[in-house]
Amino acid sequence: MNLMLLLVALLLKSAMPASGGSFEEEELYHNERNDLIQLRDSLSSAMSLHSNWTGPPCHNHRSRWLGITCFNSNVVGLALYGIQLTGSLPSTALQNVLQLASLNFSDNALHGNLPSLQGLVHLRSVSFARNRFSGSIPAEFVALPNLSRLELQDNVLSGAVPPFDQRTMAVFNVSYNFLVGSIPNTSVVQGFPSTAFDHNTQLCGRPLAKPCPTAPPPPPTVSPVPPLGRAGGALSPPATSSSSKTLRPRILVLVAIVTATIAFMVMFCFLYYSKRYSKKAKQTAHVPEKEAKSSESVAEPKKIVDLTFLDKQKATFDLDDLLSSSAAVIGKGLLGSTYKATLGSGAVVTVKRLKTMHEMSKKEFAHQMQLLGKLRHENLVDIISFHYSKEEKLVIYEYVPGGSLFQLLHGNYSSPTSRLKSRR
């Protein structure tokens, strides 16, 4: 009997630490799970994260959550690439997933600003490539000490490239965005090829073959002339009364010459501009009335920069207007990305940003655009203009509301009848 009681006591003693450890583990990773649930609730996907991300994210060093990798009961990896995710990420997303080392949201349809990822010091690999993220690259990315891979290509990011200086950085790509300004001169950033920065038309500086414009030199500073005849001035104090008497006439003559020169220059300028103004007034008075009316009725045409219009009557905007417009990605394909651009005038156009025609010459590209522009059919939209440069090839055509074929087939998962009605 005593032996049986001893065995029961030993079994109870060995079971108590296990249950206590499970409770402590649940408390320890409570904030980590809350951040993941917040992320789940901000996204939608055909994979239905809401039904899969339930219970604890990690259990016995494993996870049954989609895209989650665990180690030592911590979430260390999050891979949700290519599963048609839509929505935007909270700015403070995943900041309590402190052991996170790998993050991959590539090949989805996420929009909005990038999360700051502040405090995630174990992060080594980050990919937000081929989405619809906008805004600037967070400055907090520069403070991720172990970052070795950063992929942000094929988005709608703007602003400057941060001065990344992590010695661990081995892969870096910000191509096919709308970044501006000079590429940072840090040894890490300068160590990547020009392809990492391609197709950002407003970027300049090495390693791109596009130098930044030099700032004009500052105006020369004029040192004040020290007062004459005083201590520390241009002239030494007189040693004797005889030398003072000798200098006094010379100073008077110098002052008289300077005064006369200034007066002469003022008079000359006055006469010159008076004569020029009177001559201009006479020329204006002799312009015939018919010519004056003609000049008032014909406005100087607006200079169109770097855009070739197939119909000159539609030349109402230029490349600067296009690049400064509000843009939203509405489709992606093998040839490139398609944007809906709202110009400052309120007009809406569609912009196709081509990325697979690097070998085509400007003459051949213009010829193809002219041929396409002459095609007329009720199911074809009209090409308005095009742009060709070494870095960018754009086709601008009329915007047709109602969505794309991809959205018709895979869009908002509404009923087929309602989607077909929206296209009529």
Nearest to 119 by CA among 148, 99, 90, 149: 99
d(CA 270, CA 304): 41
Structural class in CATH, domain 308-423: alpha beta
Cis peptide bond N-terminal to 162, omega within 30: no
Q: How far apart are CA 321 and CA 309, in angstroms?
A: 14
Q: What is the pLDDT of residue 50?
A: 84
Structure tokens, 9: 């006591």
- Residue 357, token pair as written in the block: 């025609």
Res 19: pLDDT: 37
Q: pTM here? A: 0.53
Give the C-alpha distances (Å, rounded to integers) separating 63 from 28, 53, 60: 17, 10, 8
Beta strands in 160-231 (DSSP E): 171-173, 178-182, 202-204
Name which of 143, 85, 144 is nearest 111 in CA terms: 85
Residues in a beta bridge with 74: 71
Distance from C-alpha of 71 to C-alpha of 117, rounded to nearest angstrom: 20
- The residues of the chain scoring below 50 in pLDDT are 1, 7-8, 10-24, 229-241, 284-305, 413-424
How far is the C-alpha of 3 from the C-alpha of 318, rounded, in Å? 94
Portions of the chain given CATH number 3.80.10.10: 27-204
Give the pLDDT confidence of 40-65 residue by residue, as tens digits.
999 988 777 888 898 899 987 788 89
CATH number of 27-204: 3.80.10.10
What is the pLDDT at residue 406? 58
Each residue's pLDDT tens digit, 330-385: 877 777 888 888 888 888 888 888 876 667 788 888 888 887 877 777 677 788 88
Sequence ranges of the chain with CATH classification 3.30.200.20: 308-423
Res 281: pLDDT:
52
Helix (H) or strand (E) holding 323: helix 319-323
For residue 381, the model assigns a pLDDT of 78
